[in-house]
A and B are shown apart, each in its own frame.
Chain A
Amino acid sequence: MEIILALSIGALAGSGVWLMLRSRTYQVLIGLSLLSYAVNLFIFSMGRVRTGAPPILKPGVPETLANYTDPVPQALVLTAIVITFAMTALFLVVLLAARGLARNDHVDGRES
């Protein structure tokens, strides 16, 4: 399981970085989204791979890490997901405005 998760984080991050280095604004937008999946999963993976132990307290079960997974990475990622959405929205609108203004979709606003 760890191997699969690590590989997927690597694939998402690699694809994201590749796209971020491209010259078209839309590629960068998509690349940032991919990279944020990777980063979110990376932070999430810091809580280790655990199945069937959501951090939702059940009566009678002692509140220890033996019974529940680590809630801290989850809390961090939850905010990150929402902020990612905000970032995507802002970038998208800037992208559209730049496309209208510059008459091309190069990240520098002009074809080099």
Chain B
Amino acid sequence: MISNESLLLVAIAIPFLGSLIAGLLPTNARNLEAWLAGGIALIEVGIFSFLYPYIVDGQVVRAEWAWVPAAGLSFVLRLDGFAWVFALLINGIGGLVFLYARYYMSPEDPVPRFFSFLLAFLGAMLGIVLSGNLIQMVFFWELTSFFSFLLIGYWQHDSGARAGARLALAVTAAGGLCLFGGVLLLGHIIGSYDLDKVLRAGNLIRNHPLYLPTLILILIGALSKSAQFPFQFWLPRAMSAPTPVSAYLHSATMVKAGIFILVRFWPVLGGTDYWLWIVAPAGLITFVLGAYLAMFQNDLKGVLAYSTISHLGLTTLLLGMDSPLALVAAIFHLMNHATFKASLFMAAGIIDHETGTRDIRKLSGLYRYMPVTATLAMVAAAAMAGVPLLNGFLSKEMFFAETIETHDGSLLDDALPYFATIAAMFSVAYSLRFIRDVFFGPPPTELTRTPHEPPHWMRFPVEILVVVCLVVGIVPNYTIAPFLNVAVAAVLGSAAPKFDLAIWHGFNVPFFMSLVALAGGVGVYAMLKSFGFTGLSVPWLSRGDQAPSDRIGSTARALMRVIATRRLQPQLRTAICVAFLVGLLPLAGRNLLPETMELTRIDVAFAVVWFIGIVCALATAYQAKFHRLAALILLSGAGFATCITFIYLSAPDLALTQLLVEIVTMVLILLGLRWLPKRDERLLETDSSMLMRRYVDLTIALVVGAGLALLSFAVMVRPQPDNGIAQYFLAQAYPEGGGKNVVNVILVDFRGFDTLGEITVLCIVAISVFALLRRFRPAPESIAAPEQKRIQEAFDVDHPDRRPGETIDDYLLVPSVVMRLLFPVIGTLGIFLFLRGHDQPGGGFAAGLTLAVAIILQYMAGGAVWVEDRIRVFPLRWMAVGFVFALAAGCSAWIVGYPFLTSMMGDVHLPLIGDVHLSTVILFDLGVLAIVLGATVLELIALAHQSIRTHRKPKPAAVEGAA
């Protein structure tokens, strides 16, 4: 029997797993995607239904896996009654949305991405509600912002969608950072990030001097996520998302995450004046403002977006009132809102899908075309307006009852019932407009097609949700009451109040308020109808959607003008100077040079080598502007001096690698030079400011050079510490690493993880180079064949006895024969270097580069077409195989229970050959070899192929760039 703890782990894992699978399915597999996603949601519902008996009566299912226990970081899953209700909401509505999305998305949309993001979002949302560790909760919180961003911007071609996605991410992710800050403060106050410990520490938190900053940071996070004033502006713009996303993320789940956090922390953060005076006004303003603005929206989804803002405001206001009964009403309204708003969004999507527009002004009289959808939407809208016998009515009654209660006796408190009634009137008015203007009246005239009912399964989710609205509204005590009890008990514990969900409480004040709101709402609607709704649009509020993001942008631009530059040179100059000064800091107030210096004897040969090397370096600096080839040759002179230094100073591995890299770099830059048109020296012009800049740069160069020289000198003349890390590596290389070449052992064994990172970088670079070159547009001056080639070809054309291209072949005849003959020799050398690498100079890097040189020589000798006819060159596959090898070598340590990349070795007896020493390190080094080989070859031949691509000639000439 699987334990409850592992069930929780399964619940959190399968959405992400499903997301991966969904992303890999074929583009048009709408049915398969929907089955997968829906199946996962169903399994989740099953899991949580199974767990229900374990969380009633305030029990908690909890599972913990230590991660970095020293830093208080554990992966904790924690399911209590409140989280359970949320989990069921996320998965229940999630499943319905998946079904709906199957029909909503058109066959042209790339659905794998869509379902993959939706599933990942579901997982992230579950992660928030199931987190028992605060840091973990913030992580999932940011994850929901991230997937919300991807989903709003799903239709990437739509600039409105992209802008809306950016705005939503900016607001909610910034809020998430505030929440993170608040959570860190909480952890600081309590000394633990564990949710259970936090929930027990209410008094400690409220009396702590850091309470106010903590509260404000957490509230910014929660209010921005739930689109509360003053952060409400992002939600309407997020409506450019596909409708299933709006239904799911932006009404039923993600925007409720803020409410979730408020409820979660209510027992520990609430109960103070600060809470009351921040949360309640934010909720009230949002509630009234949202309802008011919703009346003037002409977009169906706009109405619903502002209505969502308003209903979230209502919930926030309830939480701000700081009484247990208000909390009950808040949780109840949150569930109700999810059901009726999701169904209304789906109905809006159906209308959009069937008519091609969401503009209320264009829609009218749709009842005669889609009576069933119309009826469903009417019921849901009535629930939104708070009509009796529907679930919205019940929670709204509770809300009214709470507003009448006296809380602190302030003016605001006394005015609350009036504000509540007015906002409720507005919500009746916009609900009425949603129904009457769309479904009744004359038949629509501005539609391009005749609408009809959607496919049955598209309507099915709406039907389910509407039935829930009705059943909860009529028999609340037999349906929702137990779950509500469980959720409230989880939050409040023993302080949970008694409440009564009866639909009839007699003629009391709340009922009277409901009647006033209903009648007043009809009146407001009638009044606005006669004005045509548009005339009353309030400029300073409707513009509010646009303004904040623009203001941020313009401020940022103004700041950029003052403190930044787009030019590279000043940036580099600043970076170098800052780096130099920072490098000086630790040296301040110390003796740079020791009193006694141990100098080794000067070797004349070494001095000569570096005399040449320094001349080469300076000449390179002098020539690189106009004489690129000369500069390249001089550069390699300096490189060669470096190489000799390595040999001379006991670093054979470095010398070998440097030499090979030198060769490969040289070929690469030569290939590139072919596409770099000559610079015209006559353009040389100098003015005084330019000369000034040069003097400044020269000074910087001299100072940096002198500083680096002095610093290295100062280190070199000091004796080496005996007890450093070097001693450890020397002593342990053979006993632990099983190799005699200490440098190689460090690379592939002790610091194997670094090397893994490095070869990953190599792969990324090679693929970037490959990708950049696929769409390469060379400079127009360099498209024609190089001068030398033109002369040679003209010569062939002038002589009737020669065929075109013959001269080039003749020129290269002897070298190419030699190069072809060298292939097996160099190949063998590469394998030799690889095999001896662990004990002698060599290893995967050197071997990979050698093999790459062998292949590149063939390209130079015969040209790309000739080579690719004869050998199979698949650098991308080599890289992939190499990566798999390296990872496999790393993971193999897990089999015997050691950490990643622990090397294992053993002697195996093979028949005929005898005892063979085998080690996973060899496999790792083989991976390094394959990746270095693949990456190098990929970069070189991608560049070499440009010659064929542009000219489309049968015979390429990759090496002629050198000419």
Residues of A within 8 A of B (CB): 1-24, 26-27, 29-31, 33-34, 37-38, 40-42, 44-58, 63-65, 68-72, 74-75, 77-79, 81-90, 92-97, 99-101, 103, 105, 107-108, 112
Contact = CB atoms under 8 A, between A and B. Distances in A.
B192 interface: no
Given A1-B602, A51-B648, A54-B650, A30 B743 contact: no
B628 interface: yes
B614 to A, nearest CB: 4
B559 interface: no
Given A54-B651, A82-B845, A93-B943, A18 B697 contact: yes
Interface stretch (B156-164, B463-471, B764-772, B871-879): B764-772
A20 B705 CA distance: 13
A51 B649 CA distance: 5
Contacts of A18: 621, 697-698, 700-701
B712 A45 contact: yes
A112 B685 CA distance: 13
B657 interface: yes
Contacts of B765: 86-87, 89-90
A27 B617 CA distance: 13
Contact of B649 (A42, A49, A79): A49
Contact of A5 (B573, B645, B668, B773): B645
A99 to B, nearest CB: 5
A8 B769 contact: no
A80 B41 CA distance: 49
Contact of B651 (A8, A69, A85): A69
B651 A81 contact: no
A56 B841 contact: yes
Most buried by B among A22, A58, A94: A22
B900 interface: no
Contacts of A23: 569
B716 interface: yes
A34 B638 contact: yes
A15 B675 contact: no
B746 A15 contact: no
Interface residues of B, number: 112
B600 interface: yes
Contact of A19 (B621, B708, B726, B731): B621
Contacts of B758: 79, 82-83
A40 B642 contact: yes
Most buried by B among A22, A29, A75, A103: A75
Contacts of A53: 650
Given A56-B841, A83-B758, A8 B665 contact: no
B705 A11 contact: yes
B742 interface: yes
A92 B755 CA distance: 24
Contacts of B746: 71-72, 75
Contacts of B717: 2
A112 to B, nearest CB: 7
Nearest to A94: B772
A14 B716 contact: no
Given A48-B720, A83-B758, A94-B772, A24 B679 contact: yes
A45 B705 contact: no
A41 B710 CA distance: 13
A56 B648 contact: no
Given A34-B638, A38-B708, A49-B600, A19 B649 contact: no
20 contacts: A1-B599, A11-B614, A12-B638, A18-B700, A22-B697, A42-B708, A44-B645, A51-B649, A55-B730, A56-B740, A63-B733, A70-B720, A82-B845, A85-B664, A88-B665, A92-B943, A97-B777, A100-B776, A103-B779, A112-B567
A49 B720 CA distance: 10
A29 B111 CA distance: 43
A5 B712 contact: yes
A15 B762 contact: no
B777 A89 contact: no
Interface stretch (B174-182, B603-611, B913-921): B603-611
Given A37-B642, A68-B730, A52 B631 contact: no
Interface string B715-754: 1110010101111011101100000111100110001001
Contacts of B778: 96, 99-100
B624 A30 contact: yes
B653 interface: yes
Contact of B722 (A4, A16, A45, A65): A65
A75 B733 CA distance: 13
Interface in B618-654: 618, 620-621, 624-625, 628, 631-632, 635, 638-639, 641-642, 645-646, 648-654
A11 B617 contact: yes
A7 B661 CA distance: 24
Contacts of A97: 772, 776-777
A78 B651 CA distance: 10
B572 A14 contact: no
B497 interface: no
A84 B664 CA distance: 12
Contacts of B773: 93
The 6 closest A-B pairs by CB, nearest first: A14-B705, A10-B709, A6-B713, A18-B701, A15-B621, A71-B742
Contacts of A1: 599-603, 606
A72 B599 CA distance: 22
A94 to B, nearest CB: 7
B59 interface: no
Interface in B377-394: none
A73 to B, nearest CB: 9
Contacts of A51: 600, 648-650
Interface string B679-700: 1000000000000000001101
A83 to B, nearest CB: 6
A87 B669 CA distance: 12
Given A17-B700, A108-B567, A3 B602 contact: yes
B10 interface: no
A3 to B, nearest CB: 7
Contacts of B661: 81-82, 84-85
A45 B716 contact: yes
B625 to A, nearest CB: 6
Contacts of A88: 665, 668-669
Most buried by A among B746, B761, B778: B746
Nearest to A56: B741
B812 interface: no
B726 A71 contact: yes
B652 A2 contact: no
B706 interface: yes
Nearest to A50: B650
B704 interface: yes
A99 B673 CA distance: 11
Given A27-B625, A30-B635, A79-B754, A70 B665 contact: no
B676 interface: yes
Nearest to B675: A96
Contacts of A72: 724-726, 729, 746
B576 interface: yes
B939 interface: yes
B935 interface: yes
Contacts of B932: 82
Contact of B576 (A17, A30, A103): A17
B568 interface: yes
Contacts of B566: 108
B620 A15 contact: yes
Contact of B710 (A6, A14, A78): A6
B672 interface: yes
B716 A49 contact: yes
A16 B576 CA distance: 12
B569 to A, nearest CB: 6
A79 to B, nearest CB: 5
Nearest to A68: B730
B600 A8 contact: no
Nearest to B566: A108
